[in-house]
Amino acid sequence: MPGPRRVDHVTCSVCRVTTRTSVQPGVRVRGRRWATNKIDGPMFLRLLKYALNRDHAEPRWFNTPAAPQDRYDVVIVGAGGHGLAAAYYLAQRHGIRRVAVFDKGYLGGGNTGRNTTIVRSNYLTPEGVKFYDRSVRLFEGLAEELDTNLFYSNRGHFTLAHTEATLRTARWRAEVNRHYGIESTLVGPEAVKDACPWIDLECGGKHPIMGALYHAPGSIVRHDAVAWGYARGASRLGVEIFQNTPVTGIEVKAGRVTGVQTAAGLIRTERVLSAVAGSTPTLLKMVGLDSPVDIVPLQACVTEPMKPWLDTIIVSGSLHVYVSQTARGELVMGAAVDPAELHSTRSSLEFVTGLADQILDLFPFLAKVRINRQWAGMADMTPDFAPVMGKTAVKGFYLDAGWGTWGFKATPVCGETMAHTLAHDENHPLISAFGMERFERMHMLGEKGAAAVGH
């Protein structure tokens, strides 16, 4: 198997050119040319010009009106990536522009800003594989579509196997993936070492690496840039975004949505999309629906910056670790979900000590590296580890939930499919298997084997 190549997509916000740079693992990215345009010249000159001249203030990414209107065609609850992407595609693809997005906090401040930015489509079920493949494809063209540098960086993704059972699941995933045209393959330990020479294949003698599922499209992308890019795109098309404006109730009359109570007053609407991850049970209660969703914290952390040494994404479900290196040189890492349900974003010492213990088995040379920040998101878990999406028993109430530990990578496809579903009042074909009614019928999807995170 050839070593994975790293491909970075860098989009210049002045001249809108997306440059792809490609390197072999371990080789520094060199020779990135300054993007230029005819008017402003190279980007660094433009930065100087704008930084030093008050008359050239950068335009705001979006403006919020002083107060919401009385009525909207669609109200979206949650200004994270999913809600904003749905708003963008509603306006851009379906011409539905009287859309308001409300968030109780700040834009992208929920799970969008709290994940470890991994994008992949190496799922286990055909439904999951097709869905996430569409997401990866949308991600690949997103910087250009949103005219925003998303720092999309194609790294390749290794899911390590330390046991026969994990190898079997990896082989199964590779087969399903390839059936749907997705580049996933089972590789031996030497391919892992080729791509990541710093790894200890013996893991300190405790859990030797027997092989891995290698997934070429695996990538990382700057999470806040995705949310802000969608926000700007939606806002340019007329969508209104209200931060720090909680939705406190949803009016339902005769089984239909008629309005939304917000901190800024009552808004009339017949269509509401809930895209609130860890607050899903709260929203469902507002419309009288019960939920199969549990909320569990998922913690992550970031180290101080280091010289580039990790060009790929390394995941070990058995060791409960996943790690990648950002363009700034920090390692972004996470572990298993917390062991019990908890509606909180507190992060713990127990998490970092546990994670350090495991990561040092893989990379002993990291012993002296300091952790700069740690945080938690609230993962909304379903019993079968697949999402809950689409129409619900309440007419006009649409759900985008059950993202567990893999919601960020679904951002574009959720936006696209939920916009279609709201616009046509008909579930998009890619989400038809994800309806809430599957739990009543016991039609579970069984996606747990594709989780990167221990549960």
CB of 115 to ligand PYC, least distance (A): 6
Residues 6+ apart with CB under 8 A from 152: 8, 9, 119, 139, 140, 142, 143, 219, 220, 221, 222
**CB nearer ligand PYC, residue 62 or residue 363:** 363
Torsion angle (degrees, nearest 10) of CA 359, 361, 365, 370: 30
β-partners of residue 100 are 75, 240
Listed residue (359, 316, 118) closest to 210, CA to CA: 316
What is the CA 177 to chain-centroid distance, rounded?
A: 20
**CB nearer ligand PYC, residue 88 or residue 132:** 132
CB of 313 to ligand PYC, least distance (A): 8
**CB nearer ligand PYC, residue 433 or residue 451:** 451
- CB-based closest residue to ligand PYC: 452
CB of 338 to ligand PYC, least distance (A): 13
DSSP state of 17: P
CB of 220 to ligand PYC, least distance (A): 10
CA distances from 263 to 89, 147, 193, 213, 260 (A): 26, 33, 54, 48, 10
Q: For the chain, state the CA radius of gyration.
A: 22
**CB nearer ligand PYC, residue 120 or residue 223:** 120
Site of interaction with ligand PYC (CB under 6 A) = 116, 118, 120, 322, 334, 405-406, 452-453
**CB nearer ligand PYC, residue 284 or residue 378:** 378
For 238, the token pair is 């007329």
Residues 6+ apart with CB under 8 A from 453: 298, 317, 320, 322, 334, 335, 336, 337, 405
The angle subtended at Cα 253 by Cα 249 and Cα 255, nearest 5°, is 100
CB of 385 to ligand PYC, least distance (A): 10
**CB nearer ligand PYC, residue 74 or residue 335:** 335
CB of 452 to ligand PYC, least distance (A): 3
